[in-house]
């Protein structure tokens, strides 16, 4: 695994020279990219179109590009529908994804810092024990984890949804890589002032790493919000469903109400799309910085 | 990283430095601090990662139906049962087909998008956002759109509407495994969801290729385009390509969400995780066999990871999700 590059260029740095050009003209380039972008946007358009249509228009013979009347009432219908507790699941997802993000950042950043910076003779062994868990994809351990969590009585609880997912070897590894590249001079200055590791971490290291924390927070929140297998296993009672499990229930239900399904999908995606567009720059840089590259 | 200089940095270093321990002069022992920082994480790791693996190992040697504290030791019976079980072995085959489709297509599409976006002078941020945006969508939501609208097997499905313009009859994309059109549905959904993420990795790598290489190649008479791509860009992307392929393989092994949601009522097209889900948490609640299957899968993943690392010269594996 290559190390993190602390001088990684921003992903949108303008090109100085034209590379590998010649085969494709500028017009061709924009046409090809435009077609690809159009295809990538179709699913988003479908969600919005169907979410604001009547069932008759979604399933009609003639595919219309825009619905004749925008059905804004579909939004309130989604939240008053009795068959799927959608509002409750949105709330559950909000709580779970938020606490998941806070917990993962706290626990994994501390561990990553300890592994990167604090001299200890067995630190390497500990690091390999953490790396070893990356070889065992978390999803593969879901059977024994479920057994453990159910024997703790945590099925259908926030604890069961949140706590087992906090200990991400991968996030810890990314933080370690990042802290290895953190300028030592700042910490040494803090030491001169007599701060311990703990004080230096909170008062110097964290405040100077907010960009990286923000990127990791975004990625962690998206993963928490979109998680499906674990919430499906743990959320057995509909009152503890997350929004992904609620969405999935539309696919297995006998009754299919199309406009509700698509409105639910739109509502489940909307918060993330906003987060995404706002934090895009951080996110792109964060991914480029995480060390998953050559 | 913020560029603001902390107040502490501005102070003269000699003012308060204790001369006795100039470098490692932190309060408290290193060992104590090491455990203070890593302790909470390691305890959690032990309880929620290592313990389940060990418990699973233990369960896999017992007949454990409907119970997690079994008392009937049956040796390797669970393993032989899973390895001779058509459904489980078939799920490994499903994975192999899936990986054979998804790994090369995602690699090619994300590299292609990176090359396109990287050459743009205008609107590159816009196009990058468009390709990256699907990363925010969950597999469940994408499955809904794919199943209920694009690949709906009836006349109002988008694909069937488009095919209808060319006089082609409706295709039952997900209902009928002969021919196995469901692969098109599954693979396009995942391509859409993950290509943008890997595009970012390729863009980062492309920008790290020194300009001098292209200039030298131009002097040597290499034609821009295919020649520079073949002899400079591709070799320079080797490390990133290796990492991307490894991440794609591991992500493919973990495929669950879209298979579960798109093919929920079928018995075919089940990858290992879906098969294990039904085996261990379905009606039979066979934790012993499920654990044995999970461990077989783990060994396989480790073997493939190490093998790929050996072949492509890449030491360690990560997972992206």
| Together in a domain, A97 and A197 | yes
State the nearest Cα–Cα gap between B268 and chain A, in angstroms: 17
**B8 falls in which pLDDT band (50, 70, 90)?**
very low
Give the SS3 label for residue A182: coil
**B313 falls in which pLDDT band (50, 70, 90)?**
low
Among A75-79, A234-238, B8-12, the range with the most confident prediction by mean pLDDT is A234-238
Q: Between chains, do B33 and A210 touch, taking CB under 8 Å as contact?
A: no
Please give the average per-residue pLDDT across A195-213, as a whole number: 89
pLDDT at position B9: 41
B73: which strand partners? B62
| Together in a domain, A54 and A109 | no
In chain A, the number of structural domains is 2
**A289 falls in which pLDDT band (50, 70, 90)?**
low
Host domain of residue A58: 24-70
Q: Is A42 an interface residue toward B (CB < 8 Å)?
A: yes
Range scoring the smallest mean pLDDT among A20-24, A202-206, B196-200: A20-24
Q: Which residue has the higher pLDDT, A121 or B189?
A: B189
pLDDT tens-digit series, residues A132-179: 887 776 666 777 888 888 888 999 999 999 999 999 988 999 899 889
Q: How far apart are CA A97 and CA B198, in angstroms?
A: 24
Q: Which residue has the higher pLDDT, B49 or B20?
A: B49
Give the SS3 label for residue A155: coil
pLDDT tens-digit series, residues B276-290: 888 888 777 888 888
| Together in a domain, A247 and A282 | yes
Residue A18 lies in a domain: no
Q: Which of B8, B47, B208 sits opposite A193 (nearest CB)?
A: B8
Q: Which residue has the higher pLDDT, B316 or A281?
A: A281
Instruction: Write A237-241 long-range contacts (CB < 8 A, 24+).
Output: A237/A156, A238/A84, A238/A85, A238/A88, A239/A85, A239/A88, A239/A156, A240/A92, A240/A156, A240/A157, A240/A161, A241/A85, A241/A88, A241/A89, A241/A92
pLDDT at position B269: 83
pLDDT at position A252: 75
State the nearest Cα–Cα gap between B157 and chain A, in angstroms: 8
Interface test with A, best of B24, B38, B222, B223 (most A CBs within 10 A): B38
| Together in a domain, A181 and A155 | yes
| Together in a domain, A63 and A163 | no
Please give the average per-residue pLDDT across B193-217, as a whole number: 89
Q: Tell whether the model's pLDDT for residue B320 goes beyond 60.
A: no
CA dihedral A45, A50, A56, A57 (to 10 degrees): -20
Backbone angles phi, psi at A195, to 5 degrees: -80, 145
Q: Between chains, do B36 and A126 touch, taking CB under 8 Å as contact?
A: no
pLDDT tens-digit series, residues B34-70: 999 999 999 999 999 898 888 888 888 988 887 777 8
State the nearest Cα–Cα gap between A60 and chain B, in angstroms: 7
Range scoring the smallest mean pLDDT among A56-60, A226-230, A245-249, B200-204: A56-60
Residue A5 lies in a domain: no
pLDDT at position B171: 84
| Together in a domain, A61 and A106 | no
Residue A13 lies in a domain: no
Q: Between chains, do A12 and B124 touch, taking CB under 8 Å as contact?
A: yes
CATH of B85-312, one of 1.20.1090.10, 1.10.3720.10, 3.20.20.70, 1.20.1530.20: 1.10.3720.10
- CA dihedral sign, ordered A78, A84, A90, A91: positive
**pLDDT above 70: percentage of residues in chain A:** 86
**Which residues of chain A have a CB within 8 Å of the CB of B155?**
61
pLDDT at position A62: 67
pLDDT tens-digit series, residues A207-220: 988 888 988 898 89
Q: Between chains, do B41 and A167 touch, taking CB under 8 Å as contact?
A: yes
Average pLDDT score, chain A: 83
| Together in a domain, A46 and A96 | no
Q: What are the C-alpha distances in Å from B139 to residues A245, A265, B234?
A: 11, 11, 31
Residue A230 lies in a domain: yes
Residue A6 lies in a domain: no
Q: Between chains, do A137 and B133 touch, taking CB under 8 Å as contact?
A: no
Q: Which of B52, B224, B320 sits opposite A22 (nearest CB)?
A: B224
Q: Tell whether the model's pLDDT for residue A32 goes beyond 60.
A: yes
Q: Which of residues 89-148 of A touch B (CB under 8 A)?
A: 107-108, 110-111, 113-115, 118-120, 123, 126, 129-131, 133-148
Residue A156 lies in a domain: yes
- The residue among A70, A97, A125 that closes a domain is A70
The neighbour count for residue B1, using CB atoms within 10 Å, is 15
Interface test with A, best of B44, B136, B296, B320 (most A CBs within 10 A): B136
Q: Tell whether the model's pLDDT for residue A225 goes beyond 80.
A: yes
| Together in a domain, A96 and A241 | yes
CATH of the domain at A225: 1.10.3720.10
**B3 falls in which pLDDT band (50, 70, 90)?**
very low
State the nearest Cα–Cα gap between A34 and chain B, in angstroms: 8
pLDDT tens-digit series, residues B214-261: 888 888 888 778 888 888 888 888 888 988 888 898 888 888 888 988
Residue A246 lies in a domain: yes
Nearest CA in chain B to A284: B200
pLDDT tens-digit series, residues A96-122: 999 999 999 999 999 999 999 988 888
Q: Which residue has the higher pLDDT, A284 or A44?
A: A44
- The residue among A70, A93, A126 that closes a domain is A70
Q: What are the C-alpha distances in Å from A61 to residues B95, B158, B169?
A: 37, 11, 14
Cα angle at B166 between B165 and B167, to 5 degrees? 95
Please give the average per-residue pLDDT across A250-263, as a whole number: 80
pLDDT at position B10: 40
Average pLDDT score, chain B: 82
| Together in a domain, A61 and A206 | no
Q: Between chains, do B264 and A251 touch, taking CB under 8 Å as contact?
A: yes
The DSSP secondary-structure symbol of B255 reads -
- The residue among A52, A70, A88 that closes a domain is A70
**B134 falls in which pLDDT band (50, 70, 90)?**
very high
State the nearest Cα–Cα gap between B242 and chain A, in angstroms: 9
| Together in a domain, A58 and A204 | no
pTM of the model: 0.83
Query: What is the enclosing helix (H) or strand (E) of A123?
Result: helix A123-135
Q: Which residue has the higher pLDDT, B169 or A207?
A: A207
Q: Tell whether the model's pLDDT for residue A189 goes beyond 60.
A: yes
| Together in a domain, A37 and A151 | no
**Which residues of chain B have a CB within 8 Å of the CB of A93?**
none
State the nearest Cα–Cα gap between A29 and chain B, in angstroms: 7
| Together in a domain, A63 and A84 | no
**B188 falls in which pLDDT band (50, 70, 90)?**
very high
Q: Is A201 an interface residue toward B (CB < 8 Å)?
A: yes
Cβ-based burial of B31 (10 A; exposed 0-12, middle 13-18, buried ≥19) = middle
pLDDT at position A20: 46
Q: Answer left, alpha or beta for residue B18, where phi above 0 means left and psi between -120 and 50 means alpha.
A: beta
- CA dihedral sign, ordered B294, B298, B303, B305: positive
pLDDT at position A66: 76
Q: What are the C-alpha distances in Å from A273 to residues A97, A265, B135?
A: 15, 12, 9
Q: Which residue has the higher pLDDT, A13 or B114?
A: B114
Q: Which of B27, B37, B317 sits opposite A110 (nearest CB)?
A: B37
Interface test with B, best of A2, A54, A147, A175 (most B CBs within 10 A): A147
**A290 falls in which pLDDT band (50, 70, 90)?**
low
Q: Is A225 an interface residue toward B (CB < 8 Å)?
A: yes
pLDDT at position B315: 42
């Amino acid at each position: 695994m290559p190390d993190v590059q602390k001088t990684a260029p921003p992903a949108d740095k303008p090109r100085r020279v034209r590379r590998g050009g010649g085969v494709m003209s500028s017009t061709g380039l924009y046409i090809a990219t435009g077609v690809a972008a159009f295809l990538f946007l179709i699913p988003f358009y479908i969600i919005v179109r169907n979410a604001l249509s009547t069932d008759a228009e979604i399933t009609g013979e003639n595919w219309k590009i825009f619905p004749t009347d925008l059905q804004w009432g579909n939004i309130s219908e989604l939240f008053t529908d009795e068959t799927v507790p959608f509002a409750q699941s949105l709330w559950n997802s909000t709580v779970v994804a938020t606490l998941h993000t806070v917990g993962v950042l706290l626990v994994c950043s501390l561990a990553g810092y300890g592994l990167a910076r604090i001299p200890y003779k067995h630190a390497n062994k500990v690091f390999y024990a953490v790396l070893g868990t990356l070889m065992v994809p978390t999803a593969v351990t879901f059977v024994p984890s479920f057994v453990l969590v159910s024997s703790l009585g945590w099925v259908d609880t926030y604890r069961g949804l949140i706590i087992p997912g906090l200990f991400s070897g991968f996030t810890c590894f990314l933080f370690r890589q990042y802290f290895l590249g953190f300028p030592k001079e700042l910490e040494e200055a803090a030491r001169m002032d007599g701060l311990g590791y703990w004080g230096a971490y909170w008062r110097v290291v964290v405040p100077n790493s907010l960009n990286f924390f923000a990127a990791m927070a975004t990625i962690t929140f998206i993963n928490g919000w979109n998680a499906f297998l674990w919430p499906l296993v743990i959320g057995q009672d509909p009152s503890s469903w997350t929004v992904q499990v609620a969405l999935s229930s539309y696919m297995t239900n006998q009754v299919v109400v199309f406009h509700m399904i698509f409105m639910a999908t739109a509502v489940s995606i909307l918060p993330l799309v906003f987060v995404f567009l706002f934090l895009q720059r951080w996110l792109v840089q964060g991914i480029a910085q995480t060390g998953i590259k050559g | 990283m913020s560029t603001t200089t902390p107040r502490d940095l501005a102070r003269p270093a000699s003012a308060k430095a204790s001369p006795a321990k100039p470098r490692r002069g932190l309060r408290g022992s290193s060992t104590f601090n090491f455990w203070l920082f890593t302790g909470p994480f390691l305890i959690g790791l032990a309880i929620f990662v290592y313990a389940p693996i060990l418990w699973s190992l233990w369960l896999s040697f017992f007949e454990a139906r409907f119970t997690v504290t079994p008392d009937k030791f049956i040796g390797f019976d669970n393993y032989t049962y899973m390895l001779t079980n058509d459904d489980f072995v078939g799920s490994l085959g499903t994975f192999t087909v899936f990986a054979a489709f998804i790994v090369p297509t995602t690699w090619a599409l994300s590299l292609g998008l990176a090359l396109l976006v990287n050459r743009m002078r205008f609107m590159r941020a816009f196009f990058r956002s468009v390709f990256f945006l699907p990363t925010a969508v969950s597999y469940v939501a994408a499955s809904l759109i794919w199943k209920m609208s694009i690949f709906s097997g009836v006349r109002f499905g988008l694909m069937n509407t488009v095919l209808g313009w060319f006089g082609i009859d409706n295709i039952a994309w997900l209902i009928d495994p002969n021919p196995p059109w469901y692969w098109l549905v599954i693979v396009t959904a995942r391509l859409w969801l993950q290509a943008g993420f890997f595009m970012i990795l390729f863009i980062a790598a492309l920008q790290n290729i020194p300009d001098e290489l292209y200039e030298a190649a131009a002097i040597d008479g290499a034609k821009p385009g295919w020649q520079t791509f073949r002899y400079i860009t591709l070799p320079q992307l080797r490390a990133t390509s290796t990492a991307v392929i490894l991440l794609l393989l591991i992500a493919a092994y973990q495929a669950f969400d879209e298979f579960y949601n798109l093919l929920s009522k079928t018995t075919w097209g089940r990858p290992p995780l879906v098969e294990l889900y039904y085996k261990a948490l379905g009606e039979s609640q066979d934790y012993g066999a499920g654990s044995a299957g999970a461990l077989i899968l783990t060994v396989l993943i480790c073997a493939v990871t190490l093998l790929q690392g050996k072949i492509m010269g890449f030491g360690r594996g990560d997972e992206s999700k």
